[in-house]
Structure 1
């Protein structure tokens, strides 16, 4: 066991233990920087929990992967050594298989449709699907829409992706999607992506606007194609081991604060998207607005293949698309 693992173990060992500041402290770790709108929403949530509990309950936040990667934080939650974390819904696919559906392209008509799904019965059911793995979803944080960005080739149609190596998350759905569009999907960790783009290991990637900007990938990739193929949310997760130790008042404080923080984060995200778009344009990025139907038509076969492979997931996708 190396020194880093030992250090993390001792830091999180005190999770959900009394301290001088509050009767109970729950540690929340994540991989985002302190300027990210999701981090700001979690700080807002922590303030709300302290206020609602009159100082009896406290959230202690560790940003910037201080306690490990998304996968490592989930593993710490599963043994109750860490209280809460934020992960992409794509990362949660292994713990809640139905979440795979959120990775399918052009599932949502617009932001309003997406939020109705997340706030409704389908969204609630998806959040609860990982509880048998000791992971309880509390809320969805908006992560906007994901689009392609590239170094040398402007993407104006799926045909332009042919032969290009595109970085994707470790998600079978994301890999399949890029293949359908004609690209060559290449899973690479987020922390290694900037260097991989510089060195030509990949020709481009796909992500949301604030991440494209905050990661400084715009310094390398000068073409941004706003095809907005997917809208995969972030999920705030709490260990069921920790959750089950909370009394009803504590659970209510956290649930209410999470809901209020989500509404706050939606506003922050919109501002972050506008700022990111302005800044990357100033940095010389060419922003393209391709005809989305060209990408949508290419991706339709994914849902048809899903119907044959997993009828349950296909029906779930259809239910989502039909939410009014």
Structure 2
């Protein structure tokens, strides 16, 4: 009820402004009066989450860089709705910014599905380089043209995770170790195809039931962001962690394009600068948290493995082709990415 009520209040507020001849959702003043321009931003993460600390830095930086002429009000923990609801809010102009990963924009630009392809990028560094490529820019331009959404953190340097791992009851140090491994997965056709191709026996189990499934021996392993291994207590029932970089994730601030263009140029510049600086700070916080997780794992006698993932990536070719045949994946974009990777 809180979410619905807040959304209604926001809508009423916008209508009242328009009725009074003030600035509407996509129309603002020059920002030179005493009254600041206030942007509404939403995220699904709770306020005490490490990612949210980076968002709070963004709020502060915007106000500092604009001498208070521009402010950002952030609503945490899905107060403005679910992922899809908030994206629709931003498209309509009822909300100005939404903060999440790029996979949620797949309904508007199909090629964003490449951001969830398992083992397409060897590590975060390669993924970061790709995010500045012409291939990525083309997808972002299409998102602006089709639904009027712009990623204002242009460096896309706010990394979630910061990487994914495999937690297991026995060592996984090479591709052969995955054969016959009973693996917990979410209900994802892409992930199931990928891990099956690597030799695992996959079982769909809710995330909240994963710890118990590992403890009872229902499964031997599960995939997870490194940041949640200790908070989920996986280290109590699995003593092996393999770094996989299964699919890197970049958090983006998607803003209503009309609202962005309505801002004075100096405020646009300040907003982008603040978003990029917040991404750097947020990722720093996440990396620091990861160091703490790794220290906990060491104390719990958990072995962490950095392995050669190239044999795993080679196995993905048949998976990608299967996804092309099913219509899920654009073969032209896949070929462009493979060519780009070969040139790096």
Which TM class, normalised by the smaller chain length?
A: 0.7 to 0.9
Aligned 8 A contact 1:107 1:320 in 2: no
User: How far is the alpha carbon of 1:294 from its aligned partner?
Assistant: 3.9
User: Which residue of structure 2 lines up, in the alignment, with residue 133 of structure 1?
Assistant: 147
User: Which residue of structure 2 lines up, in the alignment, with residue 60 of structure 1?
Assistant: 73
**What SS is found at the alignment partner of 2:131?**
helix
The worse-fitting range, judged by mean Cα deviation, of 282-291 and 244-253 is 282-291
Residues 311, 286 of structure 1: alpha-carbon distance in 2 compared, 3 angstrom cutoff: same
User: How far is the alpha carbon of 1:217 from its aligned partner?
Assistant: 5.0
| In structure 1, distance between residues paired with 2:233 and 2:75 | 22
User: Which residue of structure 1 lines up, in the alignment, with residue 288 of structure 2?
Assistant: 271
Residues 70, 161 of structure 1: alpha-carbon distance in 2 compared, 3 angstrom cutoff: farther
**What SS is found at the alignment partner of 1:233?**
strand
User: How far is the alpha carbon of 1:284 from its aligned partner?
Assistant: 5.3
User: How far is the alpha carbon of 1:58 from its aligned partner?
Assistant: 0.6
Question: Is the counterpart of residue 194 in structure 1 residue 211 in structure 2?
Answer: no
| In structure 2, distance between residues paired with 1:216 and 1:135 | 38
Aligned 8 A contact 2:43 2:100 in 1: yes
**What SS is found at the alignment partner of 2:249?**
coil
User: How far is the alpha carbon of 1:157 from its aligned partner?
Assistant: 4.7
User: Which residue of structure 2 lines up, in the alignment, with residue 49 of structure 1?
Assistant: 62
**What SS is found at the alignment partner of 1:230?**
coil
| 1:138-163 Cα deviation digits (max 9, x unpaired) | 2322123222224x455445553646
Question: Is the counterpart of residue 146 in structure 1 residue 144 in structure 2?
Answer: no
Question: Is the counterpart of residue 318 in structure 1 residue 335 in structure 2?
Answer: no
Residues 206, 68 of structure 1: alpha-carbon distance in 2 compared, 3 angstrom cutoff: farther
User: How far is the alpha carbon of 1:275 from its aligned partner?
Assistant: 1.9
| 1:49-100 Cα deviation digits (max 9, x unpaired) | 1112211111112223333332332232222222211222222222222222
| In structure 1, distance between residues paired with 2:140 and 2:306 | 33
The worse-fitting range, judged by mean Cα deviation, of 48-57 and 178-187 is 178-187
| In structure 2, distance between residues paired with 1:281 and 1:11 | 49
Residues 205, 80 of structure 1: alpha-carbon distance in 2 compared, 3 angstrom cutoff: farther
Residues 124, 76 of structure 1: alpha-carbon distance in 2 compared, 3 angstrom cutoff: same
Question: Is the counterpart of residue 233 in structure 1 residue 250 in structure 2?
Answer: yes
RMSD of aligned alpha carbons = 3.4
User: Which residue of structure 2 lines up, in the alignment, with residue 117 of structure 1?
Assistant: 130
Question: Is the counterpart of residue 208 in structure 1 residue 221 in structure 2?
Answer: no
Question: Is the counterpart of residue 174 in structure 1 residue 194 in structure 2?
Answer: no
**What SS is found at the alignment partner of 1:321?**
helix
Residues 214, 56 of structure 1: alpha-carbon distance in 2 compared, 3 angstrom cutoff: farther
Q: Scaled by the length of structure 1, what TM-score is found?
A: 0.80
User: How far is the alpha carbon of 1:22 from its aligned partner?
Assistant: 5.2
